[in-house]
Structure 1
Amino acid sequence: MGKRYSKLVLAIEVGNYKSGFAFGEGDRKNSKIYTAIDDTNRQIGRIPTALLLKEDLSLDNFGFYAEEKYISLSLKNEHSNYRFVNNIDICQSDDKLCIKDCRGNELEAVHIYLTIINYLLQMCLKQTKRYEKFENLEKSLIVTLPDFVSKELKDSLKRLIKDVKTVRFVSTSEAAAAYCISQQLILDGETNTKKMQNGTSFIVVNFGRRLTSVCLHRMISDDDYKLLQEFKIGTGGDSITDIFFEDIIKKYGIGHFWNILGDHFCGYMDLRRGFDNEKHKFNNSTECVLIEMPTSIIMKQNDNHSDKSIVFKDNKVIISQKLMKDYFQRSLSSLISTIQEIVKGRENIKCVLLLGGYSKSPIVREIIEEVVRPKQSILVYEPDKGVLNGAVMLGFQGNREVEEIYGIICLRKQMKRFSSIKIEYEGHKAYFLQMVRSSELKDRKSITCELEFEEDEKNQPIVLYRIDSAKIATKQPLTEKDFEKVTPAMQPRNCILNDKEKAEISMTENGVIFSLEMQIQPNVKGSENKFIG
């Protein structure tokens, strides 16, 4: 009998553009990942996040099959009783979270996401049944959703998902980082590679459809990392496609163009697919991009070739090399400014790691490489499966969420309402006052603590520290080296601390009022940069 592994991890990625599943067997130290296969045992990648719903809102088809069937129904004018969803952006309608289908009809977001998850989960479970050795293994499910999905929606989904006992949601940023640190990515000399070492800082750029995450991490052990900064940028793989269609609209008028597309949805999809295929192949040797114009869409012919505008000729769309490069530059402008801001003055950043579908474009990689040089810009192995495979890895690692405790260090025990820990500070006995736990911040977003000092202590500088609760739980002797400074030594004043916290320190009659605030929801970045939590 072969070796029985301890756990079976199922992973589902629900992306705004592509979705998929994978599963793995093993434990934290020894595991194997299986990617999705079709009925002929051929490996398949992620599939379009596209749903075709029947009139009663039950699922008719998903992925490529949903797209093809809806196009076929549209051509025969038999699509009116169906709902086709290929964009799972969430909007607020009255007191409900909704998603709009391609004709603007509102559908409940919980129903749409649950339908996608259940479909992919059943596909995943079906494939695990091919392996007899998985039959009695404990199963857990890891799900990644777009970053704009709220905690409330995740909680609702968690209650409704069946067939597995343990369900955990992780962010795409977590999964991407877990995948990246498992790879031998760093060049060591001209040909050799190695894994990132303890203390190495690195940037992960994960391209989504319309949202790209840029995260700065630091390795804190040989197989673990810490998130230092995270940016959400309102750009992604679809940004360049949107710029292309904006140019068409400018050239021919929004009314004329959208009237055509309204009557010929399949023509619009064909044109969009044609551009998407070409953008991934485009490189410096491409003289111009040629896209077949669908027969259902007829544009006024323009024989005058131009480097500055789109040309229609002989049922083809012609885009010059210069114009195509301009599209790429425009689509990446906010990303480039963010990366430049992060790397500025930071010598310890070793590399920028790229994953997500848009990262496969040679021009995208070339533009980013130029910006970060002499630091390395690296395309990870199978970049479009990075989040999915990383989610499986996180399933074996357990919950990485760390409880952190914030407080100050005093030379003598005081303020009874705060529990204290005896520590050694600069060779002397001192006390760490445990004031705020990170779990409290997540529940309340902000919390205020009042510190009462003796008269002779009121003018002493204040330093805010934090420590991993796991270090305290070991009950080993602690010194100041076990604590991380959140602020420099400061007199009471307003102070921006770092990328995660904001503190307000103000003097009162009795002492000091300390207010710590953590931002929970990520900002969507355009051209400006803000630190977020």
Structure 2
Amino acid sequence: MGQCMCCTKCRRQPSQHEVIVHLDEVCLSQPISNPAIPIALEDQGPSERLLVAAIDIGTTFSGYAFSFLHEYLSDPMRISTNNWPHENGMSMKAPTSILLGPDGNLKAFGYEAIRKFGDLAENNQHQDHYFFDKFKMNLYQSNLSTDFILSDINGKTMVAVDVFAKTILYFKQHLEQRVRECLDSSLELSTDDVQWVVTVPAIWDDKAKFFMRKAAEKAGIEGRNLTLAIEPEAASLYCQHLPTYKPAVHHYAEKFDVFRPKNKYMVVDLGGGTVDITVHRVLENGALEEVYQPTGGPWGGSTVDDEFRALLVSIFGLEVFEEFKNQFTADVVDLLQAFELKKRFFEPDKDTPLSLKLPMSLVDHYKHRSGQDFQGLLKTKFNGEIMLIQDKLRVFPKTFHRLFNKSISCIVRHIQSLLEKEQVSGVSVLLLVGGYAESRVVRDSFETHFPNLQIIHPPESAASILKGAVLFGHDPHAIVARVCKYTYGIAMMAPFKEGLSDPRKKRIINGELICDDVFDVHLSVGERVSLYDIRTGKEYSLHRGQSHSLLEVYASSVPHPEYVTDNSCTRLGSLVLEVPPDTHENDKIVVCLYYSGTELGVSAFNLKTKQKTKTYFDFLG
């Protein structure tokens, strides 16, 4: 028995693009005898577009890359990126920092945004501007909605989807200008000549992925031209095209090919905010399949930043440091940017203390507020492990190394627990990618804790996701199967069964005993799902007079949830089905939930007309 659309049932107001039809306040379909109807899934991959353009918005750094079809066919690794200038040289990515004017329009991004914001702050003209920094981690939450708000560095707020849309639009326009410079002046690409790819972490839930899609569409990227790429998967595809490596631990001359058929390996994407982990098996044709659902946690490089901030608080005190952040905002940004470079290139085996330029505004503010000698404070609290020499904070390696402990211990424990899973048995290689993987501390820790595994850190690991996203845009069939991270299903009513059904769910509808809030499972957590094989749908009855049918979609962390109200369940949103005008009472429609590339997809088939029915998700409604 399937659930149809009714506001009494779903207990909420429809969004502006939904239509709710009252059916005598009953949200009920008739039972059917054979709910299993095969549905052939269409090929979800893009056609051969002339250009693939990828945007990677990271917690700490962001960038873009692109390649033309003819370049990909002749040399897949011929991928163009942008070099962003800064005071220490050039980098393939820019800081994820965006400066908006008082009117909300974009003023600058990346290094330029940090510089301009600093200039505004020096002249006390920054208060009416918006400066957002490292804002991606805000999407790592369960209560995401289209009206979710972000706070900037001064506490001013803006709708989050607008901040992400402006960031994507900035990269889109910058990339399009670069492409125009590459093209013959007589040539022009149309909208449908370009396949856009936007990267997302593997551990993001479906709401966060849908949020990023909405932001990209708001930035002017049409949905049919947009693919979301899972970050560690993109990195894995990139590494497939690199030369084979010598193992990082065992120094012998033979080369090791991680991508030989039947080999199983773990991709550990060490980003600024999250650590995303996927486990792949290489098939005979070179394609990849997931063997365990994506996993990970918020243990990336920003965890080290948090520990550094905690160190500053321990030095200056919380009150002084908070006042400093509010009064000298630009100095805080500069200090954390300087720390980012030290963190990435810190060499733990050297005895030389690290020098970090400390804003004298912070030292002066401490002296003014406390009346104490700063040098004496450091000597008392840190026993010479931290010193101030002129305007440089000198931190001894042992103290600096401790800033990584929390992050690394979380990562190591999680990987150790994964390696004990039956599905992960046989993994002999850890492939370290992402910007945080450039840290010597991180790489050394992996070699120490996993001495029996091959630890591979490819060159340009920070760019592996960005360039891999371009490869994925050209060849979305490179990943042929996924493992469900959650159990997905639809809320429905079913006949009440004495002794089996929960008495609290008992309802009487038109004289019938009904069990409410039943979880009708379509996909189960841990289930291997082919992206291109035929899947089985489930029938739901329609009612005459409906123009749309609304079904509530839920996710659960357990394989066999009974009710959508169980603690393991989360409402993802609505599935909206367009109903043909000539529908008769109890006509059937077949609904199939499946993986559409990297996202949860839906297909609906009208048994009467033998035609597909227009469907879409509203995950943020």
Q: Give the TM-score of the pair, scaled to structure 2.
A: 0.62
For 2:162 and 2:216, locate their aligned partners in 1 and report how far apart those are by CA, in whole Å: 13
Give the match's secondary structure for 2:246.
strand
**Inter-CA distance 143–439: structure 2 relative to 1 (3 Å threshold):** same
Alignment-derived partner of residue 36 in structure 1: 82
Deviation at 1:43, TM superposition (A): 7.3
Taking only aligned residues, the RMSD between alpha carbons, in angstroms, comes to 3.8
Greater length-normalized contact order (CA 8 Å, ≥ 6 residues apart): 2
From 50, 57, 68, the equivalent of 2:97 is 50
Partner of 2:162: 111
180-189 or 115-124, which moves further after superposition? 180-189
Distance (Å, rounded) in 2 between the aligned partners of 1:174 and 1:65 = 31
CA contact (8 A) 2:97 2:114 kept: yes
Q: Which one of the candidate residues 446, 450, 453 is aligned to 1:368?
A: 446
Listed as ranges, the matches of 1:221-370 within 5 Å are 221-227=284-290, 228-283=292-347, 284-298=349-363, 299=366, 300-302=374-376, 304=379, 306=382, 310-344=386-420, 348-370=426-448
Query: Secondary structure of 2:361's match?
Result: coil
AA aligned to 1:171 is I
Task: Give the superposition deviation at 1:221.
Answer: 3.4
| Change in CA separation of 1:466 and 1:347 when aligned onto 2, cut-off 3 Å | closer
Cα pair 1:441 1:447 within 8 Å, conserved = no
What secondary structure does 2:260 align onto?
coil
Shift of 1:251: 3.0
What per-residue deviation string (whole Å, max 9, x for no partner) do you get for residues 67-116 of structure 1? 10011110110112211111322486997212111111221111111111
Native 8 Å contact 2:232 2:269 kept in 1: yes
Q: 1:123 to 1:257 in 2, by over 3 A?
A: same
Which residue matches 1:455? none
- Check whether the contact 2:236–2:267 (CA below 8 A) recurs between aligned residues: yes
2:559 corresponds to: 502
1:141-199 deviations in Å (ceiling 9; x for gaps)? 11114536624423423543436661122222332232233333453852434351122
Match of 1:127 among 178, 197, 208: 178
Q: Which moved more, 1:26-35 or 1:118-127?
A: 26-35
SS in 1 for 2:403: helix
Q: 1:374 to 1:61 in 2, by over 3 A?
A: same
| SS of match in other structure, 1:223 | coil
Who is 1:18 aligned against?
61
Change beyond 3 A, Cα 1:362–1:163? closer
**Residue aligning to 1:77:** 124
Candidates 159, 177, 199, aligned match of 1:144: 199
Q: Aligned partners of 1:440, 1:63: CA distance in 2, in Å?
A: 36
Unpaired segments ≥5 residues, structure 2: 1-47, 367-373, 497-525, 536-555, 573-599, 601-621
Moved more, 246-255 or 301-310: 301-310
* Deviation per residue, 1:246-281 (Å, 9 max, x gap): 022123310012112221122222222222222222
Structure-2 change in CA distance of 1:445 and 1:201 (3 Å): farther
CA separation of 1:258/1:182 partners in 2, compared to 1, >3 Å: closer, same or farther?
same
Name which of structure 1's ranges 340-349 and 74-83 shifts more when overlaid on structure 2. Answer: 340-349
Alignment match of 2:242 (pick from 158, 178, 183): 183
SS at match of 1:111: helix
Residue of structure 2 in register with 1:215 after alignment: 278
86, 106, 113: which one aligns with 2:133: 86
* 1:307–1:187 Cα change, 3 Å: farther
Per-residue CA deviations over 1:313-364 (Å, capped at 9, x if unaligned) read 4332222222122222222110010122223486621211111211111121
Letter in 1 for 2:271: G
Q: What's the TM-score, normalizing by structure 1?
A: 0.72
Tell me, in whole angstroms, the C-alpha distance in 2 between the residues paired with 1:103 and 1:9: 37
Match in the other structure for 2:596: none
Structure 2 CA distance for partners of 1:470 and 1:62, relative to 1, 3 Å: closer
Change (3 A) 1:321 1:445: farther
Tell me by how many angstroms 1:225 deviates. 1.4
**Equivalent residues, number:** 436
Q: Give the secondary structure class of the aligned counterpart of 1:374.
A: coil
CA distance in 2, matches of 1:397, 1:22: 16
Residues 465, 403 of structure 1: CA spacing in aligned structure 2 closer, same or farther, 3 A cutoff?
closer
- Counterpart selection for 1:63 from 99, 103, 110: 110
Partner of 1:156: 214
1: CA distance, partners of 2:57 / 2:122 = 29
Distance 1:439 1:321 in 2: 40
Q: Is the 8 A contact 2:233 2:278 kept in 1?
A: no
The within-5 A match list for 1:484-495 is: none
How big is each residue's C-alpha offset from its partner over 1:362-394, in whole Å with a ceiling of 9 and x where there is no partner?
121101111111211111221111111111011
Deviation (angstroms), 1:230? 2.2
Which amino acid in structure 2 is aligned with residue 169 of structure 1?
L
